[in-house]
Amino acid sequence: MSKAPFILAIESSCDDTAAAVLQGNRVLSNCIANQEIHKQYGGIVPELASRKHQSNIVPVIHQALRQANIDKKQIGAIAYTQGPGLLGSLLVGGSFAKSLTMAWQIPLLEIDHMQGHLLVHFIKEVHQSPPKFPFIGVTVSGGHTQLIWVEDYFKMTVLGTTLDDAIGEAFDKCGKHLGLLYPAGPEIDRLAKKGNPSRFKFPKPKVPNLNVSYSGIKTAFMNFINKETNKNREFIKENLADLCASLQKTLIEIIIEKIVLSVNLKKNYRVVIGGGVAANSGLQNILIERQKKGDWEVFIPPLAYTTDNAAMIGIAGYFKFLSHEFGDLSSCPNARLKF
């Protein structure tokens, strides 16, 4: 029998309460309780998110243990998301993880959520052969947009980041302006497939180096929509697919231009993406096209591992376990955790 430890992973950085059980690099269960409550507010309400985590966390952990078909006595360590994220949400998962490690007398593993989004590629069933180090990591989510030079599991250096909003935030806020429910990213993606991406032009920011900015396009998009709906109240309804396709094209071009720059700078052609926006079909198509042309070697996670999940925290925990990087009970969640 394999000696790899069973790791229980807990993720509660934002609005999803998630728990997973891994044995070594294999995922035995990966459970998520989504918080539908935020839809009616058009975005995440932090106070409501932490309350929902409180009520979801016990059932989700039970479910993860049940699906993995193991007894809690077999768990060898607990990995939890230390940050970045919403403090109230992080505190729920963090306090729960710490209490369990005390009760079960097992080690605690503190995980950076953004590192988890990239390390998901090392889960056994994700790729036949995982990416080799070093590579260009691209994290695109609701809270982050980063280009990262990844030399080892935890040797990561940020090459560029957003100066304001994250790409997912731009998808969601522009989508809200179109009347779409939160999170609007997946719906824009779906509608964009039926639209003309060249129909409307939105300005792209001129940001030096490898940084990006998404607040300018968000404002330009909203001003454009307001102007057009003042002229024609049916403007959104009549042009929804084209608006989504044109917006998505611009949002993606901004990050693709910076991926090209980082690849050239580092002379490294291995591009590994992670985070909720990695599920976007437009972004994936461009990356796959590059791969087909032989320009880049591209790694895209399967859908279940793009948006927030606990398996990504578990795999990061496994590598920390192997290198004996254990947390202690005085560790604290950090909303602005940086690596």
List the one residue from 225, 306, 308, 317 that touches Zn ion (CB under 5 A).
Answer: 308
Q: How far is the CB of 134 from ligand KG4 (least distance, A)?
A: 23
Of 84 and 107, which has the nearer Cβ to ligand KG4? 84
Q: Should residue 308 be labelled a site residue for ligand KG4 when binding is judged by CB under 6 A?
A: yes
Of 165 and 308, which has the nearer Cβ to Zn ion? 308
Site pattern 129..148 for ligand KG4 (x: CB under 6 A): ------------xxx-----
Q: How far is the CB of 84 from ligand KG4 (least distance, A)?
A: 9
Q: How far is the CB of 148 from ligand KG4 (least distance, A)?
A: 15
Residue 280 contacts which entry, Zn ion, ligand KG4, none (Cβ below 5-8 A, type-dependent): ligand KG4
Q: Should residue 280 be labelled a site residue for ligand KG4 when binding is judged by CB under 6 A?
A: yes
Q: How far is the CB of 145 from Zn ion (least distance, A)?
A: 11
Q: What is the signed CA dihedral for 247, 265, 111, 31, rounded to 10 degrees?
A: 40
List the one residue from 110, 165, 172, 242 that touches ligand KG4 (CB under 6 A).
Answer: 172
Q: Should residue 275 be labelled a site residue for ligand KG4 when binding is judged by CB under 6 A?
A: yes
Q: How far is the CB of 322 from ligand KG4 (least distance, A)?
A: 25
Of 299 and 321, which has the nearer Cβ to ligand KG4? 299
Query: How far is it, in rounded angstroms, from Cα 139 to Cα 129?
Result: 20
Site pattern 41..60 for ligand KG4 (x: CB under 6 A): --------------------
Q: How far is the CB of 103 from ligand KG4 (least distance, A)?
A: 29
Q: How far is the CB of 29 from ligand KG4 (least distance, A)?
A: 19
> What's the sign of the alpha-carbon dihedral 339, 213, 117, 13?
positive
Q: Should residue 172 be labelled a site residue for Zn ion when binding is judged by CB under 5 A?
A: no
Stretch of residues binding ligand KG4 (CB under 6 A), selected from 93-101, 125-133, 185-193, 291-299 = 185-193
Under rule CB under 5 A, which residues in 124-153 are in contact with Zn ion? 141
Total residues interacting with Zn ion, rule: CB under 5 A: 2
3-state secondary structure the chain: CCCCCEEEEEECCCCEEEEEEEECCEEEEEEEEECHHHHHHCCCCHHHHHHHHHHHHHHHHHHHHHHHCCCHHHEEEEEEEEECCCHHHHHHHHHHHHHHHHHHCCCEEEEEHHHHHHHHHHCCCCCCCCCCCCEEEEEECCCCEEEEEEEECCEEEEEEEECCCCHHHHHHHHHHHCCCCCCCHHHHHHHHCCCCCCCCCCCCCCCCCCCECCHHHHHHHHHHHHHHHHHCCCHHHHHHHHHHHHHHHHHHHHHHHHHHHHHHHHCCCEEEEECHHHHCHHHHHHHHHHHHCCCCEEECCCHHHCCCCCHHHHHHHHHHHHCCCCECCCCCCCCCCCC
Please report, as ranges, the residues that interact with Zn ion according to CB under 5 A.
141, 308
Please report, as ranges, the residues that interact with ligand KG4 according to CB under 6 A.
14, 141-143, 168, 171-172, 183-186, 189, 275-277, 279-280, 307-308
